[in-house]
Amino acid sequence: MSLFRLDASIRVEGSHSREIADVVEQEWRTAHPNAAVTTRHIGLDPIPATAWATAVTAPYTPAEDRTPEQREAVALAAEAADQLLDADALLFAVPLYNYGVSQHFKTWLDLVVTDPRLGPGTEPALKGKPAVLVTVRGGGYGPGTPREGWDHATGWMRRFLADVWQLDLKVVESELTLADVTPAMEPLRGLAKDLRVAAEKTAREHGKDLAGASLTRV
Question: Going by C-beta distance under 8 Å and a sequence separation of 6 or more, which residues neighbour residue 119?
Answer: 113
**Domain with 137 in it:** 2-217
Supply the mean pLDDT for the chain.
95
Query: Distance between CA atoms of 29 and 207, rounded to whole angstroms?
Result: 9
Count up the domains in the chain and report the number: 1
CA dist 132 and 179 (Å) reads 25
Tens digits of per-residue pLDDT, 52-110? 999 999 999 998 999 999 999 999 999 999 999 999 999 999 999 999 999 999 999 99
pLDDT-based confidence at residue 218 (cuts at 50, 70, 90): low
- The whole-number pLDDT of residue 216 equals 63
Is the four-CA dihedral 112, 81, 36, 168 of positive or negative sign? Answer: positive
Long-range CB pairs of 188-196 (<8 Å, 24+ gap) are 188/140, 196/16
What DSSP string describes the chain?
A: -EEEEEE--S-STT-HHHHHHHHHHHHHHHH-TTSEEEEEETTTSPPPTTHHHHHHHGGGS-GGG--HHHHHHHHHHHHHHHHHHH-SEEEEE---BTTB--HHHHHHHHHHTTSTTTSTTS--TTTT-EEEEEEE-SS--STTSTTTT---SHHHHHIIIIIIS--EEEEEEE--TTGGG-GGGGGGHHHHHHHHHHHHHHHHHHHHHHHHHHHHH-
| Distance from C-alpha of 64 to C-alpha of 134, rounded to nearest angstrom | 41
Residue-level pLDDT at 61: 92
- What pLDDT sits at residue 119? 85
Q: What is the C-alpha separation between 205 and 152, in angstroms, rounded?
A: 26
Which pLDDT score, from 0 to 100, does residue 211 have? Answer: 95
CATH classification of the domain holding 204: 3.40.50.360
Per-residue model confidence as pLDDT tens digits over 7-62 = 999 999 999 999 999 999 999 999 999 999 999 999 999 999 999 999 999 999 99
Under a CB-based contact definition with an 8 Å cutoff, are residues 35 and 218 in contact?
A: no
Q: What is the pLDDT of residues 152-192, one digit of tens each?
A: 999 999 999 999 999 999 999 999 999 999 999 999 999 99
